[in-house]
Structure 1
Amino acid sequence: MKLTLEQIQQLYIFTRQHYVEHFDVQTELVDHLANDIEQIWKTQPNLSFEDARNISFKKFGVFGFMDIVGERQKALSKKYWKIIWSFAKDWFQLPKIILTIFIFTLFTIACRSKFGEYFLFSSLMIMCVYGLIKAFQLKNNFKKRIKSTGKKWMLEEMIFSAGMGFFTMIPINLINIFNLSNLDENMIYSNWFTLLYAAIFTLLVIGFYVVIEVLPKKAEELLTKNYPEYKLV
C-alpha cells in the first residue's frame, strides 16, 4: 500500500509539530517515515495511517527527531567546509594563483610601508562595508523566501550564519593592525613579520570572497538541484 499525497502532507505537518523547522530536513524525515510506514503495512495491513506513523516514530527513540537533526547539521557543516576548501584551493592554481600572488605582494609592500597600517585598515573597512551589504541582501532574500513559501532551509541558514561568523575575524585583525605602531621598527620591517602579516591578510581576502560570494551561489545550485521546491524570490 502506498501513501497518498494527503498523508505525505500530514507527515510534513507531523515533523513540524516535533520541532523540525527546516524543509530540507523535513523532506528527508518524511521520506524515511513514508518508506517505513509502507513496510509496516506489508506485515500489518489493517493498521491505520496514524498507528503506523506512531510505530515508525517510536523507532527514533526517546528524543524523537532531535538526533537526526543534529546528525544532519553535522553532515551539512562537513559539506560546507568541503565546498569552502575546494574553492579556496582554486586560488592556488592557475589562473587565480596570479591574483593570489598579486594580493600577497601588495600586502607585503603595505606591511613594509610606514603607511601600511592605514592601508590594511582601509582594506578591512571596505571588506566590512561590502560584506554587511551582501549579508543584508542575503538575509532579506532569506526572509522573503520563508514568507512566500513557508519553507526554511538549513543549508541556506547555515551559510548565512557562516557569513556572519566570518566578520568576527575582522575586529581581531583590526586590533592587530593597531598593534603595528606599538612594535619595534626592526620587527615590523623584518622578513618573517611582513610575510606572516601578508599571508594572513591574503587568506582573509580569499576566505571573505568564498564565504560572501561563492557559498551563497553554491547553496542555490545545490538546493535547486536536490529540491525543486527551492526557488529564488
Structure 2
Amino acid sequence: MELTKEQIQKIDLFLEGIGIEYIDIRFEMVDHIATEIENNIEDTNAFFEGKGFQVPFIKYMLSRKKALKNRYKKQTKKLHWHYTKAILKDILKKAIHPKSLLVILFFSFICFFFGPKYVKETSVFIFSSLMLNLAYTSYVSYKFTKKHKLLKIVKTYSFVSSLFVITALNFPNFLDVFYNGNYQESAIYIHLLAFVFNYLLTQSFLEKRDFIEKKYQYLIQ
C-alpha cells in the first residue's frame, strides 16, 4: 500500500530527529525507507498508528537507528568527495572558457611582467583584486547559501572555497605581507592562484545556483 504524505512526513521527521541533517541525503533515505515499508507491510495504516513508543513504526525505526546513522555518515562522506571532484572538474572547464581565459591572462600578465620589478605595487593590486572578488562572491551567494545550507552540494562549495582561500592567505601570512610590509614576490603568485581559483569557483557556483534551486525547491521550505 502506498504511503500517505503524512506517513512520509513522519519518516522524515524521525530521520531529522536522529541527526540526518542534509535534506538532499535525507530525502533519498526517506524514499528508500518508504519503499521498504510499502513492500513489506500489508496494513500500513496500522503500522503508523498507536501512542508513544508502542507505534510499530517507531519500534521499527528505533531498531534501525544505528544502521541509518552509519548509512548517513557514509553517504555524506561519499557525496562530499563526489561533489568536490565534480566542482574541481567544472573549474577546469571554466578555465578554458574564452571569457575566463581573458581574465586569467590579464591578471597573470600583470603579475609576471610587473611583479619582479614592482613587488609592493603588484602585491597590493593582486591582493585587492582577491579581496574584492571574495567580497563579490559573498554578496551574491550569502542569501542563497543561508537558505540552502542543508544541501550537501552547497556545503561542499563553501568547504572548497574556504579551504583554498584560507590556505592562500596564510602561506605566506597575509598579515605579515601587508600589515608588516614584508612584501614578497612569491606571495604575488600565491594570491594570483587564489584569485584565479576563486574567480573560477564563483563562475561555477553562479552557473549551478539556478540548477540547484530548481532541483531541490520542493525540499526547501
Q: TM-score, normalised by structure 1?
A: 0.70
Query: Partners in 2 of 1:69 and 1:59 — Cα distance?
Result: 14
Task: Give the Å deviation of 1:218.
Answer: 1.2
Q: Does 1:207 align with 2:197?
A: yes
Equivalent position of 1:68 in the other structure:
72
1:123 to 122, 126, 129: 126
**What do you get for the CA RMSD once the two structures are aligned?**
3.7
Instruction: Indicate conservation of the 8 Å contact 1:21/1:152, yes or no.
Output: yes
Q: Secondary structure at the match of 1:3?
A: coil
Q: Does 1:166 align with 2:164?
A: yes
Task: Give the Å deviation of 1:15.
Answer: 0.8
Distance 1:52 1:156, change over 3 A: same
Equivalent position of 2:51 in the other structure:
none
Query: Partners in 2 of 1:118 and 1:172 — Cα distance?
Result: 20
Instruction: Indicate conservation of the 8 Å contact 1:41/1:47, yes or no.
Output: no
Query: Partners in 2 of 1:11 and 1:174 — Cα distance?
Result: 50
Q: Given residue 171 of structure 1, which amino acid in structure 2 is its aligned partner?
A: L
Task: Give the Å deviation of 1:28.
Answer: 0.9
Q: Given residue 72 of structure 1, which amino acid in structure 2 is its aligned partner?
A: T
In the comparison of the two structures, how many residue pairs are matched? 212
Query: Partners in 1 of 2:158 and 2:60 — Cα distance?
Result: 37
Instruction: Indicate conservation of the 8 Å contact 2:165/2:194, yes or no.
Output: no
Task: Give the Å deviation of 1:122.
Answer: 2.9
Q: Given residue 68 of structure 2, which amino acid in structure 1 is its aligned partner?
A: G
Query: Partners in 1 of 2:15 and 2:162 — Cα distance?
Result: 28
Write out per-residue CA displacement over residues 134-181 of structure 1, whole angstroms, 9 at most, x where no aligned residue. Answer: 3255334443x37xxxx8322223323333333313423554894996
Equivalent position of 1:48 in the other structure:
47
Q: Given residue 38 of structure 2, which amino acid in structure 1 is its aligned partner?
A: E
Q: TM-score, normalised by structure 2?
A: 0.73
Distance 1:46 1:178, change over 3 A: closer
